[in-house]
């Protein structure tokens, strides 16, 4: 999932103006940087421009800080915000989970094999069940039980872990608790959630069993940034899997778990590679 080990990433956005592509690509040429991948998009309704480029410096003495300093005044002319990411960057993350282990297992495998450039600083749960799994990977595990009466206290402990570990991203890998408005605000743009996505929508217990009873022909999952609206944050990725009358409830559950794992991993990968831009209540995603 991660970019080649020798490429840098520049991701930028600004108001729509003439010359927005040129200001980035011309500067890269002047700095003797070879573009290996580039995406751009102009939102004509929102009048906002987005660009992402991976590049490889041709000179051995390339200096990222000097690059930032030199590009900043040119970006300022376009009211452009930008982020420069060095090769080999591993983002510190905290994973939150309840009892279901499929998404956590998948993330840990991709972490262990180097498919996701992350540094897992901690696993946080409201149940003790998955502590052995975290221990096997030599990861700190924090069990913070929660009740309606202790929600504020529990979230304060979770936030303390996030701050103390320096986590830049929080992954809700089937964390079956609704975060408070205050926590959602603190984690805006840096917390990704995964949940099933079925048509029609089924709320409450055993959604896949409800889907079976209705004879659905597709199961799916959505990965999104969290916000104050339950399961309605800006969507990063979605996945679907066809099912048929021959699939029983346990088959739908199994297929649902698979698509949840893949969809969450893809969303996390896009975030790590700076392919996702938050844009009002939506996202701009430069998928591979």
- Cα 70 → chain centroid: 30
Strand duo 235-242 + 218-225: pairing: antiparallel
Indicate if 258 belongs to the active site.
no
In the set 101, 231, 251, 258, the catalytic residue is: 231
Buried b (16+ CB within 10 A) or exposed e, 94-118: bbbbbebbbbbbbbbebbeeeebbb
Pairing of strands 169-172, 91-97: parallel
HSE of 97, CA atoms in CB hemisphere, 13 A = 23
Burial of 6 (0-12, 13-18, 19+ CB in 10 A): exposed
**DSSP β-ladder status, 282-285 and 276-279:** antiparallel
Catalytic residues: 231
């Amino acid at each position: 999932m991660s970019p080649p080990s020798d490429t840098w990433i520049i991701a930028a956005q600004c108001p729509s103006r003439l010359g927005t592509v040129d200001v980035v690509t011309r500067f890269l040429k002047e700095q003797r940087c070879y573009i290996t991948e580039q995406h751009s998009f102009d939102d004509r309704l929102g009048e906002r421009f987005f660009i992402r480029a991976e590049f490889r410096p041709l000179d051995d003495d390339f200096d990222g800080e000097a690059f930032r300093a030199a590009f900043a005044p040119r970006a300022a002319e376009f009211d452009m915000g930008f982020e420069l990411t060095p090769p080999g960057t591993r983002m510190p993350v905290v994973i939150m989970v309840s009892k279901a282990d499929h998404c956590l297992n998948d993330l840990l495998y991709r972490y262990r094999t180097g498919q996701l450039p992350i540094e897992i600083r901690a696993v946080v749960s409201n149940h003790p069940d998955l502590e052995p799994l975290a221990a096997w990977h030599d990861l700190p595990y924090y069990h913070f039980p929660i009740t309606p009466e202790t929600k504020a206290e529990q979230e304060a402990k979770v936030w303390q872990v996030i701050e103390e570990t320096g986590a830049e991203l929080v992954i809700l890998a089937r964390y079956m608790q609704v975060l408070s408005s205050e926590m959602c605000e603190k984690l805006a743009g840096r917390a990704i959630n995964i949940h099933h996505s079925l048509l029609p929508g089924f709320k409450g217990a055993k959604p896949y069993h409800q889907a079976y009873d209705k004879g659905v022909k597709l199961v799916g999952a959505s990965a999104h940034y969290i916000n104050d609206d339950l399961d309605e944050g800006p969507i990063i990725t979605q996945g679907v899997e066809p099912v048929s009358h021959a699939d029983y409830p346990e088959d739908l559950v199994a297929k649902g778990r698979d698509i949840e794992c893949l969809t969450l991993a893809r969303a996390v990968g896009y975030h790590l590679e700076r392919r996702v831009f938050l844009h009002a209540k939506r996202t701009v995603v430069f998928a591979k």
